[in-house]
Amino acid sequence: MDNRISITDLKAKKKRGEKIVMFTVYDYPSARLVEEAGVDIAFVGDTLGMVVLGYDSTIPVTMDEMLHHVKAVARGTHTAHVLADMPFMSYQASVEDALRNAARFLKEGGAQSVKLEGGARIAETVRVLVDAGIPVMGHIGLTPQSVNQFGGYKVQGKTPAAAARLLNDAKALQEAGAYAIVLECVPVPVARMVTEKLSIPTIGIGAGVQCDGQVQVFHDLLGLYPDLQPKHAGRYADVGDTIVRAVRQYANDVREGRFPTDKESFLMDERVFTDVTHLA
């Protein structure tokens, strides 16, 4: 039986001053690796639209696509808390839609909680989900599903009024029952203020070290897209270059007749083979 990190465990980490490690993964092999590395939250983000499926934003991602990937990550983990991202228009149209779709992530996907973008305007939706037994993580600051409204991927909360709105949004989500909140692309002083004012954890991405935890994307951290490195992304390896070199070497070896060797082939006694040819 799985012994997964719970939302109670995550909230207790804030009280103890322990940082929360959240990592965005999209498939079974990646999930197995981050599980072995000991992350607290395996997050299946709707960024899979861009990172895995080749869309130009998160907007086209569907519930079926999300469920497909959430199931894979759940199968690849046993202790990490699996968090599923609610895709665009899976919760905005009505509370009923939100409840139905969020429940699918837990019932069908094997997730332990869901994440919704937005502040005070979705607080009632959060409250309904929590009351139904569905743990919710909030997400404020730069919310990618609202990229068309923002006019691009821009830092949020840069003015006193905007910072005050962020704090009010965070408090509204906390009061509605959210167990944690992502702060994306928020100036460090604003993220620090929100973190200090809340009793629930904040998870930063482009929001400074003083958040209660951090989240990064698998492909960003490992350099799987060598020509793409967002400002907020830490790069700990250059796996993309390694893969290209390996595949190029394989292609050259095939073309030059160097692969496969006897090591990668199945051999047989030539005398047996001679007997076989006599029967042909």
Ranges of beta strands (E only) in 144-264 are 180-184, 202-205, 213-217
Please report the beta strands in the chain, taking only residues with DSSP state E, as ranges in sequence order.
20-24, 41-44, 81-85, 113-115, 136-141, 180-184, 202-205, 213-217
Measuring CA to CA, how many Å separate 121 from each of 2, 173, 210? 35, 9, 26
Q: Is 84 exposed, middle or buried (0-12, 13-18, 19+ CB in 10 A)?
A: buried
Task: List the one residue out of 199, 182, 186 whose CA is nearest residue 85.
Answer: 182
Catalytic residue numbers, as ranges:
184
- Residues 64 and 244: their CA atoms lie apart, in Å, by 31
Residue 256 sits at φ, ψ, to 5 deg, of: -95, 5
Residue 56 · residue 49 · CB < 8 Å: no
